[in-house]
Amino acid sequence: MFKRILAFLLMFTIIGTVAPSLDNASASGTSYYVKINSGSLNVRKSASTKATVVTKLAKNQEVKVHSQEKGWAKVTANGKQGYVSSQYIAPKTTDKKSSDYHSKAIAAGKQQLGVKYRYGGTTPSGFDCSGFISYSYKKAGVTLPRTAAEMHTKGKKVSKLEPGDLVFYATSGGKKVTHVSMYIGNGQVIHSTTSSGVSITSMNNSYWKARYIGAKRI
């Protein structure tokens, strides 16, 4: 009997030694993405808000998570290893949700085709450019700032456009953002303009092409 008890205790000790913690087992080597609304996420040298920042991560950037404990995740990103707050990362499988709200915003925008332009307008009775984009994204469950210039400060700068990206223009010349539209694919954007109201325009249109500033992914 004594030998059997001793064998059981030895087996329990071995299992307890080699089994990883629940957090480590569920997170090790897993791809996550950064879930922040704006700005960047600090990666710190140790699990403390007072620790040195070793790099910064952009919204939706992929990170490799090694472990999670007490609200902190040990990650590798940008070729460096450090710690981020667990509340600002999520499993990579949520990417589908991201693409869904872009599709919903486009669908909501297309439903307003033909609505007339109205300065300061934010409803289907009349839209200005940013009012139309805010309305479309709000229908998809995403809140955006009120003006085109404020929208330009959000999201991630992109050069290869995907449906749902915000496209910005300087209609007064220079680099000051004064107009925003939404890319819908096939080289086209949907927006509310003073001349045509809510309409679809080719990005190769000579007027808009000359005033293009850049694009952001929300």
**Spatial distance between the Cα atoms of 125 and 118, rounded to a whole number of angstroms:** 8
Strands 197-202 and 188-193: antiparallel
**Spatial distance between the Cα atoms of 14 and 200, rounded to a whole number of angstroms:** 66
- Which candidate in 66, 102, 152, 191 is catalytic? 191
Strand partners, 76: 64, 81
* Collapsed DSSP state (helix, strand, coil) of residue 7: helix
Q: Is 152 a catalytic residue?
A: no
Q: Is 102 a catalytic residue?
A: no
Q: At what angle do helices 129-139 and 95-110 cross, to 10 degrees?
A: 130
Active site residues: 129, 179, 191
